[in-house]
Structure formats: structure tokens, C-alpha cells
């Protein structure tokens, strides 16, 4: 016997099935892309936030970009959203003294109607109008309260071997508003390298040999005559650009008679009057920076006790005349 199907019942059955399908369907979307800073460098660990207002006052969700600078924010309904991001090169905090800070110039508007790709480029924060010039005599380098330190992995893999230079000088012509005008000239006396271990540091011992220092010592060993051609390393900037809330100087590092281009990253920490009377008699400005170079592969250092990579950190203070 044939069964007759009520058409009205069949229509209601199909309609209810369609409604159930629609209710179970995920109508949310994903915004994803890459976060970069500087010269298109992936921002590893950048924080990317999504908000519904242009001031990013109410954050709906925040994610952290991966090692390639890639981020992905899922679960967004159709609508308008604003993306913002900030990144610190040391992923520590947003202090000027810890890394270099980048962020979106303003929240980026995205219209979400489907899954979309939105790359984010982080920008340099604007600077002020301060100037510090130790080359024209208006400021002087405060060596007593400055330092040049270095570190390298002992034997290439172990805990750091660290030291400093006792004799050095750093001149700067700094223009906060126009980074292209900034000039840096610096030098260290190699034979003044000090690790705190006399058996390594004294003239004629291993450290000076690795540094290529040729010295003539007197009979008591207390004094020496140094050769300026072998006993001094120099740095001279060629270009300076903004980098996050700091600066990137490209320049020549002259060491052991070899010249290589090295990038020096530095922060300007500001200036202030520290005089008790507030009369400007103790007006000071300061900088903090660092650079790396390859001692073995680029400069021919023959030591097997160090890593190829040497890190140099600089703290420079100046006093206004």
C-alpha cells in the first residue's frame, strides 16, 4: 500500500531543518595578518587588540603575535572594528630604558563581513626638540659618570665573560627633532680593557693579545707606551634614523685596522637641571645604547675563549656648559 505524504507537513519539516542548520551555523569571522616594525622586521610578541571604538578604549580581545609576527583574532561578528598594536623589542615593558617601543600611529579601521587579512605596520613615536652637542663646546662629555661595557659567551656557549674599558670618549651632536642631523664619534683604548682578573688583563697577557694590542712595557710593568694605530678602536656614525622611541645609527667600527659597518641602537633619556638652586648650573642629558659585532669572522680575533658575537653597551652622560 502506498503512503501519501502531506505536502504541508513536508514543507514544515524542511523549513524546520533549515532553521536548525542556520542556528548551528557559525556566523563569526577571523581577522589575521602580520605585524612588522622598522625595515619590515617581524614584531615577535607584539600585542594586537581589537575594539569597537576609534580610541581603543574598550578592548574586546587581545592576542600576541608569533615568532614570525603573525596574529589571528577569531570569533568576530559582522561589523566595524578597530585594531591597535604595541611592541617592545625586548618584550619587557614600555619603558624607554628597556628596549625600543613601536605602536600603531592610530587604531586601524576594519569592516568585517568575512574572514579578512589585515597587516599592521608599527611606527616610530614622535620626538621632541632637545639638543645635546659635545662637539661645539656647548656640552661636555661626563666620562666619570659614563661607561662602555662589553660581554661575550665564554668558550662560545657558556656563561658570559664581561668587562669594560677604563679609557674612552664619546662625542655626540644630537638633534632630537631631526635624526638625520645626529652625529656620533667614539673611541676606546683597547689596552684599558678590564675584566677584573689581573692574570687576564695585565699587559702581555691573553686579553691584550686577542685585542691585537702591541705595547712596550717598562721594566716594572707598571707603565706602557701604546701604539695609537693598534691600541684604539673607533666608531663614527654615517646615518641616523628614528627607531621606535629611540634611534638607529649606522656607522663604521674600526678595530684591528679593519673597518666594518655596525648598527648602534640608542635611546635618549632626556635632560634636566639637577642644581639645588634651579639656576641651570647642573644641567645634564643622557643616552643609553648598544651594538653587536663579530670579533672572529669580521675582525680576525683568534681567541677560542670567546663567542664570535660581542655585545657592547654604552651609558653616556653630558653636562651643559
Q: The pTM is what?
A: 0.78
Rg of the chain over all Cα atoms, to the nearest angstrom: 30
Question: Quick check: 161 and 151 in contact, CB under 8 A?
Answer: yes
Task: Look at residues 142, 93, 195 and name the one whose alpha carbon lies nearest to residue 320.
Answer: 142
What does the pLDDT read at residue 56?
Answer: 80
Q: Extract the C-alpha cell encoding 121.
A: 605596520
pLDDT at 74: 96
Cell triple for 311: 655585545
For residue 201, give every residue at least 6 positions away whose Cβ sits within 8 Å of its Cβ, in sequence order, or none. 163, 193, 194, 195, 207, 208
Q: Print pLDDT tens along the chain (321 aa).
A: 455 555 665 555 555 555 554 454 568 999 999 999 988 999 999 999 999 988 888 899 999 999 999 999 999 999 999 999 999 988 755 555 567 889 998 899 999 999 999 999 999 876 789 999 999 999 999 999 999 999 999 888 899 989 999 989 999 999 999 999 999 999 998 888 888 888 787 766 677 767 766 654 433 444 444 565 678 899 999 999 999 989 999 999 999 889 999 999 999 999 999 998 888 899 999 999 999 999 999 998 888 888 999 999 999 999 999
Cα angle at 216 between 212 and 221, to 5 degrees?
110
Q: Are 105 and 123 in contact (CB under 8 A)?
A: yes
CA nearest to 235, candidates 216, 210, 255: 255
For residue 33, what are the CA distances in angstroms to 41, 104, 142, 201, 259?
14, 14, 47, 51, 40
Q: Which three three-digit cell numbers place residue 83?
A: 585594531
Amino acid at each position: 500500500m502506498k503512503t501519501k505524504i502531506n505536502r504541508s507537513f513536508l514543507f514544515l519539516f524542511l523549513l524546520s531543518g533549515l532553521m536548525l542548520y542556520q542556528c548551528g551555523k557559525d556566523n563569526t569571522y577571523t581577522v589575521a595578518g602580520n605585524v612588522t616594525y622598522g625595515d619590515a622586521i617581524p614584531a615577535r610578541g607584539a600585542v594586537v587588540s581589537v575594539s569597537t571604538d576609534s580610541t581603543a578604549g574598550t578592548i574586546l580581545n587581545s592576542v600576541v603575535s608569533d615568532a614570525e609576527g603573525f596574529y589571528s583574532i577569531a570569533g568576530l561578528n559582522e561589523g566595524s572594528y578597530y585594531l591597535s598594536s604595541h611592541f617592545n623589542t625586548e618584550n619587557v615593558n614600555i619603558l624607554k630604558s628597556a628596549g625600543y617601543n613601536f605602536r600603531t600611529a592610530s587604531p586601524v579601521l576594519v569592516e568585517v563581513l568575512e574572514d579578512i587579512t589585515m597587516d599592521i605596520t608599527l611606527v616610530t613615536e614622535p620626538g621632541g626638540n632637545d639638543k645635546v652637542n659635545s662637539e661645539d663646546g656647548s656640552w661636555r662629555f661626563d666620562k666619570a659618570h659614563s661607561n662602555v661595557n662589553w660581554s661575550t659567551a665564554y668558550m662560545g656557549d657558556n656563561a658570559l665573560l664581561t668587562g669594560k674599558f677604563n679609557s674612552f670618549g664619546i662625542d655626540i651632536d644630537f638633534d632630537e627633532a631631526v635624526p638625520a642631523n645626529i652625529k656620533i664619534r667614539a673611541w676606546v683604548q683597547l689596552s684599558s680593557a678590564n675584566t677584573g682578573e689581573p692574570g687576564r688583563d695585565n699587559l702581555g697577557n691573553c686579553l691584550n693579545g686577542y685585542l691585537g694590542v702591541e705595547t712596550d712595557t717598562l721594566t716594572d710593568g707598571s707603565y706602557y707606551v701604546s701604539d695609537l694605530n693598534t691600541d684604539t678602536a673607533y666608531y663614527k656614525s654615517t646615518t641616523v634614523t628614528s627607531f621606535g622611541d629611540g634611534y638607529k645609527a649606522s656607522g663604521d667600527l674600526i678595530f684591528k685596522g679593519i673597518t666594518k659597518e655596525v648598527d648602534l641602537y640608542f635611546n635618549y633619556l632626556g635632560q634636566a637641571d639637577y642644581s639645588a638652586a634651579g639656576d641651570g648650573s647642573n644641567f645634564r642629558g643622557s643616552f643609553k645604547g648598544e651594538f653587536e659585532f663579530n670579533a672572529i669572522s669580521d675582525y680576525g680575533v683568534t681567541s677560542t675563549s670567546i663567542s664570535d658575537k660581542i655585545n657592547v653597551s654604552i651609558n653616556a652622560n653630558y653636562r651643559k656648559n
